[in-house]
């Protein structure tokens, strides 16, 4: 009998075709919203393998729905929302995908940076409402990007360095903070200067966040850190939402401690702090870092590689708890 795979949202076409060739597939067809926990439990209850997306929470309650579940395969780069410890206890393999969204995430970082500084969304909304303040009106005057200082928090990472490479085209000064320094060659490529976090916050016109999500980076940027930033500075987050204390961010924006924010990730996704939704100096996208069709299809194909390996009795190449596959 063919195995059954539950897919929590639509995946790329070539990956789906491969999956259908080796398994019976039940896939939630609506890509506009995250499925409820009840729907996830229902899907897991009737499947052999779960194919989850980054936003899906796979905890003990979900695993309890099917003691015979054979694997949790995820399109996430890190299993942030999967209880890997519980899965390992059950000898349940968990797989992820390699970092395949480096350039796409750097793109969305720059889109947010440009949009919030130059007030693109406000201008678009004004035009759609029938307004046009005039070609030299100061009504929507924003912040310069050219030749400003870009600070990369977690700057040694691949996405941060991709953001930094783009900054060369804007003649920007690049500062970075990281637990480990870049190699001399990497620093030279970006013309980047290593500084402390406090120095970076004090000197940067744009603070771009790229740290890994760890207990140490939870609320890395909070009330104290916003107080160090320039009142004309913008903060951009395309890493993980909990890196920023969102309540402190709201306070900093309301008090004018910083000029604005560009956010692709949020502390309690999909919940958004209500005040952020009303602020014109905040540009938000719903976690679009990897949202390029070619990249999403490539990511999904890696998941199918893992499923094919499982079904063939071979080690799954992207397993985060490989000890459960031994023996």
pLDDT at 260 over 80: yes
pLDDT at 160 over 70: yes
pLDDT digits (tens, 9 = 90+) for 48-76: 999 999 999 999 999 999 999 999 999 99
Per DSSP, the three-state class of 94 is strand
Confidence of residue 325 (pLDDT cuts 50, 70, 90): confident
Q: What is the pLDDT of residue 278?
A: 96
Better pLDDT: 325 or 69: 69
Active-site entry in 18, 240, 267, 296: 240
CATH number of 102-284: 3.40.50.720
Asked if domains 4-98+292-325 and 102-284 share a fold, the reply is yes
- Active-site annotation holds for 287: yes
Is the Cβ–Cβ distance between 300 and 54 less than 8 Å? Answer: no
Q: Residues near 314 by Cβ (< 8 Å), separated by ≥ 6?
A: none
CATH top class, domain 4-98+292-325: alpha beta
Structure tokens at 125: 């909304």
- Mean pLDDT in residue range 138-143: 96
Domain boundaries, the chain: 4-98+292-325, 102-284
pLDDT at 327 over 80: no
Q: Residues near 75 by Cβ (< 8 Å), separated by ≥ 6?
A: 11, 51, 52, 53, 54, 97, 296, 299, 300, 303
In whole angstroms, what is the distance from residue 115 CA to residue 265 CA?
A: 16
Pairing of strands 173-177, 234-237: unpaired
Half-sphere exposure at residue 257, Cβ-oriented, CA atoms within 13 angstroms = 19
In whole angstroms, what is the distance from residue 141 CA to residue 118 CA?
A: 7
205: left (phi over 0), alpha (psi -120 to 50) or beta: alpha
Active-site entry in 55, 119, 156, 287: 287
How high does pLDDT run on average in the chain? 97
Which among 311, 314, 313, 263 is positioned nearest to 287, based on CA atoms?
263
Per DSSP, the three-state class of 35 is coil
Computed over its alpha carbons, how large is the radius of gyration of the chain? Answer: 22
Active-site entry in 26, 61, 86, 269: 269
pLDDT digits (tens, 9 = 90+) for 69-109: 999 999 999 998 999 999 999 999 999 999 999 999 999 99
Residue identified by tokens 């400003």 is 148
């Amino acid at each position: 009998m063919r195995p059954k795979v539950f897919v929590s949202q639509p995946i790329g076409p070539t990956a789906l075709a491969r999956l259908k060739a080796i398994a019976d597939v039940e896939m939630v067809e609506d890509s506009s919203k995250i499925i409820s926990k009840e729907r996830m439990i229902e899907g897991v209850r009737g499947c052999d393998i779960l194919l989850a997306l980054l936003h899906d929470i796979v905890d003990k309650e979900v695993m309890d729905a099917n003691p015979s579940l054979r694997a949790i395969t995820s399109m996430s780069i890190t299993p942030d929302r999967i209880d890997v410890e519980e899965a390992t206890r059950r000898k349940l393999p968990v797989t992820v995908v390699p970092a395949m969204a480096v350039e796409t995430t750097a793109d969305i970082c720059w889109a947010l940076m440009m949009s919030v500084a130059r007030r693109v969304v406000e201008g678009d909304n004004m035009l759609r409402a029938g307004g046009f303040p005039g070609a030299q009106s100061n009504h929507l005057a924003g912040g310069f990007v050219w030749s400003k200082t870009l600070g990369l928090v977690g700057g040694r990472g691949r996405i941060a360095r991709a953001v930094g490479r783009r900054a060369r085209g804007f003649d920007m000064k690049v500062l970075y903070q990281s637990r480990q320094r870049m190699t001399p060659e990497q620093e030279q490529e970006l013309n980047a200067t290593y500084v402390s976090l406090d120095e970076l916050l004090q000197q940067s016109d744009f603070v771009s966040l790229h740290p890994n999500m760890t207990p140490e980076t939870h609320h890395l940027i909070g009330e104290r850190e916003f107080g160090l930033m320039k009142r004309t500075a913008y903060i951009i987050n395309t890493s993980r939402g909990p890196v920023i204390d969102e309540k402190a961010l709201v306070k900093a924006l309301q008090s004018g401690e910083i000029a604005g924010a560009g956010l692709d990730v949020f502390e309690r996704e999909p919940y958004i702090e209500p005040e952020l939704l009303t602020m014109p100096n905040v540009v938000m996208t719903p976690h679009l870092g990897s949202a390029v069709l070619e990249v999403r299809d490539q990511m999904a194909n890696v998941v199918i590689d893992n499923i094919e390996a499982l079904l063939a009795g071979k080690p799954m190449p992207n397993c985060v708890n490989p000890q459960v596959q031994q023996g």
